[in-house]
């Protein structure tokens, strides 16, 4: 079945934000953009959860989005994180992303406020009516305390520029219902569930592990989209322990930042309240990277 945003299929990398001495390291950011593109990423997604957006000022978030668009130079799509629990702020950031040249906007459902489903509908509807850029709904109730119910997604699908859902609830039933009831493009929001979600008809993943295992996750998505199930299974089973470790040892992006540091691709610096991964957990992560073939012994 043709989906609304087939051009966002495959691997979207939920990019980390590199910091050095407390500031965004734009030189390292450009290096990461180049490496991700050359390793098979189809879409880059800055300023999301993995990018520590809650600790960025709005000016930093705008500068980050504009820089990734500039560095990508149209070679891949940019899905900018522009969500907020404040509808006015989310709208302003989404308008900025559109003006800056981003190809789409990833909007988390309002967090902390705990709105009703009607409030969630009105939030996204107001933004969709005010911009032309494609919108990806981001459902992650573990972060927001309120999920976007499938019935609300069905209503939101009436907006032409709401074209995607990043489904990070971990619920196969929710993904199934959205895929069966709409023509929206569904992207897995959990690395360990990429293959199961794609077997239902999802088109790819917004991946954390893709920051450092880019070619492997890209190959998994390509294999599923091309119907090469055995190839996809092989990659899935090889990468599964690493995917679980990278997202379970501590709150994202603590483990992924440490993985990037172990690979020499980032300082590992984070902003409070995120803190360093403990030494014993770092060793577990290092062993997982070696076992997956991402890090040399």
pLDDT band (50, 70, 90) for residue 1: confident
Pairwise CA distance, residues 236 & 219, whole Å = 10
Q: Domain coordinates of the chain in residue numbers?
A: 6-227
Pairwise CA distance, residues 31 & 24, whole Å = 13
CATH number belonging to the domain at 6-227, selected among 3.40.630.10, 3.20.20.70, 3.40.50.300, 3.40.50.1370? 3.20.20.70
The active-site residue, picked from 166, 238, 257, 258, is: 166
Residue 276 has a pLDDT of 94
Q: The dihedral of CA 215, 188, 92, 50: what is its sign?
A: negative
- In this predicted structure, the answer to whether residue 246 has a pLDDT above a threshold of 90 is no
Pairwise CA distance, residues 261 & 275, whole Å = 14
DSSP 109: P
Tokens (6 digits) for 25 = 């390291």
**296 vs 37: which has the higher pLDDT:** 37
**Is 166 among the catalytic positions?**
yes
| Beta carbons of 109 and 85 less than 8 angstroms apart | no
- In this predicted structure, the answer to whether residue 297 has a pLDDT above a threshold of 90 is no
- Name the region of 277 (left: φ>0; alpha: ψ -120 to 50; beta: rest): beta
| Centroid of chain to Cα 92 | 20
Tokens (6 digits) for 166 = 């990043």
The active-site residue, picked from 77, 138, 257, 258, is: 138
C-alpha pair distances (Å), 266 with each of 65, 66, 216, 260, 270: 19, 20, 20, 5, 10
- In this predicted structure, the answer to whether residue 190 has a pLDDT above a threshold of 90 is yes
**Is 138 among the catalytic positions?**
yes
Average pLDDT, the chain: 96
Residue 117 has a pLDDT of 98
What are 252-291's pLDDT values in tens digits? 999 999 999 999 999 999 999 999 999 999 999 999 999 9
Burial class (CB in 10 A: 0-12, 13-18, 19+), 116: exposed
Residue 107 backbone dihedrals phi, psi, to 5 degrees = -120, 115
Integer distance in angstroms from the first to the last C-alpha of the chain? Answer: 44
What are 120-173's pLDDT values in tens digits? 999 999 999 999 999 999 999 999 999 999 999 999 999 999 999 999 999 999
What are 59-118's pLDDT values in tens digits? 999 999 999 999 999 999 999 999 999 999 999 999 999 999 999 999 999 999 999 999
């Amino acid at each position: 079945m043709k989906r609304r945003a087939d051009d966002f299929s495959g691997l979207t990398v939920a990019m980390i934000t590199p910091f050095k001495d407390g500031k965004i390291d734009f030189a390292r950011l450009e290096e990461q953009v180049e490496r991700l593109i050359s390793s098979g990423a189809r879409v880059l997604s800055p300023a999301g959860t993995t990018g520590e957006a809650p600790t960025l000022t709005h000016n930093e978030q705008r500068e980050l989005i504009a820089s990734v668009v500039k560095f990508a130079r149209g070679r891949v799509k940019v899905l900018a994180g522009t969500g907020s629990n404040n509808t006015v702020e989310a709208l302003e950031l989404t308008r900025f992303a559109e003006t800056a040249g981003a190809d789409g906007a990833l909007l988390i459902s309002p967090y902390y406020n705990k709105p009703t489903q009607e409030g969630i509908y009105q939030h996204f509807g107001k933004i969709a009516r005010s911009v032309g850029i494609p919108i990806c709904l981001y459902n992650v109730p573990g972060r927001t305390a309120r999920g976007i119910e499938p019935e609300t997604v069905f209503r939101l699908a009436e907006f032409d520029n709401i074209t995607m859902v990043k489904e990070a609830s971990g619920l196969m039933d929710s993904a199934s219902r959205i895929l069966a009831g709409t023509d929206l493009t569904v992207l897995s929001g959990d690395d360990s569930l990429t293959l199961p979600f794609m077997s239902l008809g999802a088109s790819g993943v917004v991946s954390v592990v893709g920051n450092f295992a880019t070619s492997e996750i890209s190959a998994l998505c390509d294999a599923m989209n091309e119907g090469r199930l055995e190839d996809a299974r092989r990659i899935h089973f090889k990468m599964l322990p690493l995917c679980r470790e990278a997202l379970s040892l501590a709150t994202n992006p603590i483990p992924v930042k440490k993985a990037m540091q172990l690979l020499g691709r980032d300082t590992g610096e984070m902003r409070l309240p995120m803190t360093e991964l403990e030494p014993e957990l770092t060793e577990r992560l290092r062993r997982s990277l070696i076992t997956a073939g991402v890090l040399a012994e």
